[in-house]
Amino acid sequence: MLLTFVGTAGSGKTTLTSVFGEYLEEKGYEVGYVNLDTGAKKLPYKPDIDVRKTITVEEIMGEGYGPNGAIVESYDRLMPHIDHYIAKILELEQRRECVIIDTPGQMETFLFHEFGVKLMENLPQPLVVYLFSPEILRKLYDYCFVRFFALMIDLRLGGTTVPAMNKIDLADDLEKHRQYLEDIDYLTTRLKLDPSTQGLLAYKLCTFLPEISPPIRILYLSAKTREGFDDLETVMYEHRCTCGDLT
């Protein structure tokens, strides 16, 4: 079973890899850890596989690159080693019940660089958890954005993507967030009242969301309090059994 955390910088990928891994280990699972972030300085878990063995952003910056150029260059330099990393992950997956993959800090590196896309293409039925923070949900359109973004990740990486709000310990009104994220009819009705261009676009998108979105469960997690970890474990279990149907 492969579990991949994807999300914007600071969304909690590394912390969750460590803390959810610990949770699974306490429950008796054998867990493997993979770090795909060439820019990570210090990790709170001990990776079994670590791309920093090949190259780090820091080394490349030492050659005079700026931070963004160094990130892209690091994945360019990983490309000749991609088959080696795919083989190592597949081999680790044979030995462990669950392998957790921590992805690059900058999500676009994973979604847009061939390294991330090719790696995911070659892994069997990885479950992708798309992490977002409650702070990004400021307007009604943002709920629509999050639901579509998860679908865009599906489209780009293949596999199954589950949207997960992380840092719910920081969320003010979790019930409101839940309602807008899960009750698409309710969200669509509210968006219909918004006369702005964004409101109209979000309304149109939301009207066909039920048609194009597979039935998915949305997760609400906190790496700090471990809330929602049991739900993530259930989703993992169901994914392994059914490979796709996450209702």
Give residues with Cβ within 8 angstroms of 241, minimum separation 6: none
| Footprint on residues 34-63 left by ligand GTP (CB under 6 A) | 37
- Paired sense of beta strands 2-7 and 127-132, if any: parallel
| Termini Cα distance of the chain | 19
Interface region with ligand GTP, contact rule CB under 6 A, candidates 64-72, 87-95, 151-159, 161-169: 161-169
Decide which of Mg ion, ligand GTP, none touches 35; Cβ closer than 5 to 8 Å per partner kind: none
> CB of residue 135 vs ligand GTP: minimum separation in angstroms?
11
Decide which of Mg ion, ligand GTP, none touches 170; Cβ closer than 5 to 8 Å per partner kind: ligand GTP
Please tell me the distance from the alpha carbon of residue 107 to that of residue 161, in angstroms, as a whole number.
Answer: 14
Binding mask 64-103 for ligand GTP (x = CB under 6 A): ----------------------------------------
Please tell me the distance from the alpha carbon of residue 206 to that of residue 116, in angstroms, as a whole number.
Answer: 29
- Asked whether the CA dihedral 59, 64, 70, 72 is positive or negative, the reply is negative
Q: Residues binding ligand GTP: what is the number (CB under 6 A)?
A: 17
Decide which of ligand GTP, Mg ion, none touches 10; Cβ closer than 5 to 8 Å per partner kind: ligand GTP
Sheet with 160-165, strands from edge to edge, namely 49-50, 31-35, 98-102, 2-7, 127-132, 160-165, 219-220
Please tell me the distance from the alpha carbon of residue 93 to that of residue 50, in angstroms, as a whole number.
Answer: 15
> CB of residue 41 vs Mg ion: minimum separation in angstroms?
10
Please tell me the distance from the alpha carbon of residue 219 to that of residue 227, in angstroms, as a whole number.
Answer: 10
Interface region with ligand GTP, contact rule CB under 6 A, candidates 11-19, 186-194, 207-215, 237-245: 11-19
Q: Is 161 or 166 the residue whose CB approaches ligand GTP more closely?
A: 166
Interface ranges with ligand GTP (CB under 6 A): 7, 9-15, 37, 105, 166-167, 169-170, 222-224
Interface residue list for Mg ion (CB under 5 A): 13-14
